[in-house]
A and B are shown apart, each in its own frame.
Chain A
Amino acid sequence: MLNRDWLTRLRLRWGVHPLGRKEQGNREGILTLPLPSRLHVPMLQHTGQPAKPRVTVGQRVRKGEMIAARQGNISAPVHAPTSGTVIAIGDYPAPHPSGLPVLTVSIDCDGLEEWVDLDPPSDPFALAPEALAAKVAEAGIVGLGGATFPSAVKMALGLRTQVRTLLVNGSECEPYLSCDDRLMRERAAAIVDGMNLIRHAVGAETILCGIEDNKPEALAAMREAAAPFPHIALRRLPTRYPMGSDRQLIQVLTGREVPSDGRSADVGVLVHNVATCYAVHEALRYGRPLISRIVTVAGGAVRAPRNVEALIGTPARYLVEQCGGLSGESARLVMGGPMMGLELASLDVPVIKGSSGILALDASELPSATPSPCIRCGQCVTACPMNLMPFEMSARIRTGALDEAVGMGLKDCLTCGACSYVCPAHIPLSHYFNYARGELTRRERNTLRQESIRKLVAERSERLERDAREKAEAAARRKAERERAKAEADAARAAKAAAKAAEESSA
């Protein structure tokens, strides 16, 4: 039989092979950081509505206590990562694409690590799937792969659409990052338990877990942990970026494609990250909410790169200091991986639920050249995991023909950056696509606003017309009345005069 890996490689032509640099941080085990003196916990760490604070300044909170409740359907609560005193509730710098500060609860740690009373279910498998999802929602768990979509919402969706297979994403395709790698190596049994719990919560039959072949130790550990469960299958994936994107993982593991306007549940699967599975295990077995995560601290400017387990709200600076500090001038600070990560303005920002990495890159690791003209080499076309033609789209966007770019599939773009990564002309292709999508949203909003204005104007002129008409009618009515009254008066006068005349004549 032909080698399966070989076939997969041949079938999938998309993707790029960025320099992994994972060995920077994956050699040593996860370091649990000592408690920092102060934590800054943002209220918006997830996709959707920000959480609403339920504490007041000066209030003492215990570790794991809910300090902010979710607002709306797509949202997640936030918990105190340690015990201490709330010293401020206000705007604080946060890792958010807007670069704007976010409402943040700042906590002075008292060092006691005093837990709130935990109430784990005695047997989570005995609970109904809906009850499990509710507990996951209470624990504030969001997708830890980077998308930070509230996990409970996804699980409820899976239950509704009768998902057959749970896909577990252990690909970790971003360069530098090895937080999932270390987690799988060290806590495989807990991850597998979390997988089983999610399977129960979404009513799936089988579990398929994919791990890239640059993580053989993680794969071995997971194989061992999953051995007792016949419904779990582990797959070795070819190392390729962006293997960890939902749509690509589904394509590789199941051979099916998610329809352009659909969700993964439409093809009978649901994708969760390994770190999310671990968080679900912690929540359902021990009742612990999501208050910490594994973060890869790496990059050429970090002295001793490694993976650390950090409390949510820990300043990025503290993580870097605990990893030996910066060895020199860092040319760029990034939260997340280098392919899709967010540039940080400073190390003051806190670690949030979605922070898979804190990178301090030196100048040699960064793209340096200024863009030159496109030579239509087509490397972006080969790299695109969605089969788009990035160079054609960016040419349209440059000239402002956004609708044409949409016709070429702009809305299908994942902004994974594979095209920008390979472009020999150093054109910031994915930047163009992000810009164009923002611009389209703005235009759509504009159109809606203009329509509502037009409607208002039309209503107003109609109202004015009506008013004028009514006024005119009223005036006409009054005039008619006046005339009638006048005519009557005239008639009466005439009658009187006639009577008088008759009287006179008779006299």
Chain B
Amino acid sequence: MIEMLSFSFMQRALIAAVIVGVLCSVLAFFVVLKKLSFVGVGVSHSALGGVALGVIAGVDPVITGGFFATAVAWLIGWVSRKGHMSEDTVIGTFFSASMALGVVLLGLARSYTADLMSYLFGNILAITETDLWLLGGLTVLVLLFVSLFFKELLTMTFDEELAQADGLPVGPLYFGLLTAIALTVVVTVKAVGLVLSSALLVIPAATGFELAKDFRRMLAISVATGVIGSVAGLVVSFYLDVASGATIVLGLSLIFLMAYTLSPRKPWVARVLAKRREKSASPTL
């Protein structure tokens, strides 16, 4: 471990893993409860079109990718809320079209073809100090947005129509959430890649959901899972010399599988827990 930390690229990677773990797992809380997983997948894959545009135009791909992903996220939100088309049809259409655009554009810029894999699957070991500042800055913004409007976001997530009847600005809140998801996808490109970032926007909170019946505990478990899974994945990838993004996602998936198997939502687990409670409550002779 100490040997690993002697490399400055590993120190940066470790800090990035912690930040990505926190950022993604906080948003994942709303993604899972509001059932936006497919939106996350759609936006993350769509971002490739924007990243490729940046590569071709010689602009920072994070900037073009950010605009592109946000535009796609808003379009998904707008079309689905207007009710002209179902959300999954919109996502299915945009996500494949934008990805195809990205692959073609990156193909045209032949000198950059090698970058395609790093955009798709990420390389957390290549994180620079600037990337860290960008990641940290967005994390602060997202955490501010979530903490400032937590009760409103939770109310909207629970029942959107009731929230609207309460007079909450449901539209701006929803689009704020979509923007946060889109920007998160783009700034985590280097760490885990576009394809795998959607996993980070689901798995930590899905783990929390399996283990908790109270949203506070769900959020805490989500953040813990995000951070532990990301750091553990990074460490394992270092020692096994395998792709870091994929190892992080595999680590998270493993934690989720354990949570799913032992979830108190499972009838057999609930029975065992109830028996234990009965035993501990009964007076000892």
- The answer on A and B forming one complex is no
Residue ranges of B at the interface with A (Cβ–Cβ < 8 Å): none
Residue ranges of A at the interface with B (Cβ–Cβ < 8 Å): none
